[in-house]
Amino acid sequence: MKEGTGVIIAAVPVALQAGEPLVLTDGHGGLPHMQFSGAGEGQIREALEALIVTRRRVFSACAEQLPVGMEQTPDGRKILEIPYLVTTQTGGDGRGWSSCYDFLPWEDQRNHHGVTLKNRLGEFLLTQVTPPTTSEQVGARKKVCVLFALEGSRWRPELASERCGALIESGYLPGDGQVDMMTLADSRFYRWLAQGLGHLRKPLRSLSMPVELMPERFTIPQFQASMEGVLGETLDKQAFRRSVSNCGLIEEAGGVSDEIFGRPARLFRFKNDVTVARNAQGMSLVLPLAETLTDTETIENLLFSHRRRAKNQDEARDEN
């Protein structure tokens, strides 16, 4: 790595609560992240575990790397961004978790506000290439229509990252009913979150959901509500049930739920081979208990210890 290049490890922790996708923020309006230089791959797991520590141990968390980005600061330094989607559960009292749609409201097409905002943003971007006078502008106009489901194009939930990218490229983001300028820090936050949401949405068309997001046993209505929450769109009930019957991902767990009013609903679970396959897809994390964390378990000390060990190894080689 070239001298002067910094590295940011970022976590995009996403969980489900009553079918609503939540994201864990860092208490300062951003996503958990830290900047350091020279850390090896062996430190990434420790960094992520420390960044998303919760008040109660979470036994099932999986990290998947999102697209790496490169930023250049005004002083010419380069910052390498390595974000990870971390699918987990809220745990503890749930403090610090917010709805993903508090930050990306246009991605929730289940309500009138989200639909209206999506249309307004798309129309705003169209004004920048209207009327199209070059082939590039014609292509840009088609892209906006596809991203924001305008002029007959259908809504594509999995394009969340591309939609956010188009807004970032224009230099604007919505806020309080207006269109506001955003800062570099804003763009990082929105970009990471949109990347995580888009990555999570991609497999859902085949009804494949990260098992760590769902409880051990769930009903079909709960499964549908979770799918709708992550996708940000309403699904047809009958079509969903048919798809569930044919997907081969879940099986009856025995028993019925007492949380559903009316007729008791049967409980289901993910098949064991689905769980095993999912665990092989990403990096399993062990989240420490916040109450029992010691100074030596903080990420700053972990990185310091790593650098110290590397220095000692270098000195030992020099002596030999």
**pLDDT tens-digit readout, 247-267:** 889 999 888 877 655 677 889
Peptide bond into 67 cis (omega under 30): no
Residue (of 207, 196, 211, 202) closest to 61 by Cα position:
211
Dihedral sign of CA atoms 169, 174, 179, 182 in order: negative
Confidence of residue 230 (pLDDT cuts 50, 70, 90): very high
The pLDDT value recorded for residue 14 is 94
The pLDDT value recorded for residue 26 is 81
pLDDT tens digits along 63-107: 899 999 887 777 777 888 899 999 988 866 677 889 999 999 999
CB of 194 closer than 8 Å to CB of 104: yes
pLDDT tens digits along 263-289: 778 899 999 988 888 877 778 776 654
CB of 116 closer than 8 Å to CB of 70: no
